[in-house]
Each structure stands twice: as C-alpha cells, then as structure tokens.
Amino acid sequence: MVKKVDVNGMIIRKMHLEDIRQVQQVVKISWNSTYQGIIPLRIQESFLKAAYNDEMMHNRLENSFIWVSEVNGKMVGFANFSAVKEEGKTEFAAIYINPEYQG
C-alpha cells in the first residue's frame, strides 16, 4: 500500500493521530472562509465542535480512511472516505483545503 506520495512539493499521506489538531484547524479555516456571510459564525462553531471534536476525529481515524496533504511541512488539506463495502461502494465523507491552496 502507498504510504506517501510527493506531487510537485505537496506530500499526500495517511493521517496519523498526531495530525488531529492540524486537521481541525484546516476544517475551521475552510468552513469560516467558505460560509462567511452565509452561515452565522456561532452556528459554524457549533457544528465544528460536534462533527470534528477530538472524539469524532479519533472515531473517523479508526473507522475510515483519511489522507492529508502538506506543503513544506504545513497541513493544507485532507480527504476522508469509508472503506469499500461489499457491493463495491465507498462513501466520500469530506474534503477540505485551506483557501490559500485552493485553485
């Protein structure tokens, strides 16, 4: 299995337990940028606390696949998806990229 891929200076690798804080930060920055003026900040923060708290991140890490991307050692994004099911399907759960690296 591939453990790490280097694409033009961007590293893509499996997430580790010690990456949780950085992933949570990418989620927060992405949400705040994407939904500014659309979803009130207090509602964004409430959702993020429920969906991306430490317990939920541990659960995601144990029960799904998460790949992170780094540029110069800085976490800039991640993708989260489920394992392939018996019928050959997988569920794409989330993808977040720091707005500075989008495009």
Q: Assign residue 28 the CATH number of its domain.
A: 3.40.630.30
Residue pLDDT, tens place only, 46-61: 999 999 999 999 999 9
pLDDT at position 1 is: 54
pLDDT at position 9 is: 77
pLDDT at position 84 is: 81
How many structural domains compose the chain? 1
The pTM for the full model equals 0.85
The residues pairing with 11 across neighbouring beta strands, listed in sequence order, are 6, 70
Give the range of the structural domain holding residue 49, as residue numbers without chain letter.
Answer: 4-101
State how far the Cα of 92 lies from the Cα of 79, in Å rounded to an integer.
Answer: 8
pLDDT at position 83 is: 82
pLDDT at position 10 is: 85
CA-CA distances (angstroms) from residue 95 to 14, 65, 75, 87?
14, 12, 13, 23
What is the total residue count of the chain?
103
* Closest CA relative to residue 75, chosen from 31, 10, 28: 10
pLDDT at position 8 is: 73
Residue 48: in which H helix or E strand, if any? helix 41-51
**Tokens read off for 62:** 């144990």
pLDDT at position 6 is: 66
For residue 98, what is the DSSP state?
-
pLDDT at position 87 is: 83
Q: Which stretches in the chain have pLDDT values below 50?
A: none
pLDDT at position 39 is: 96
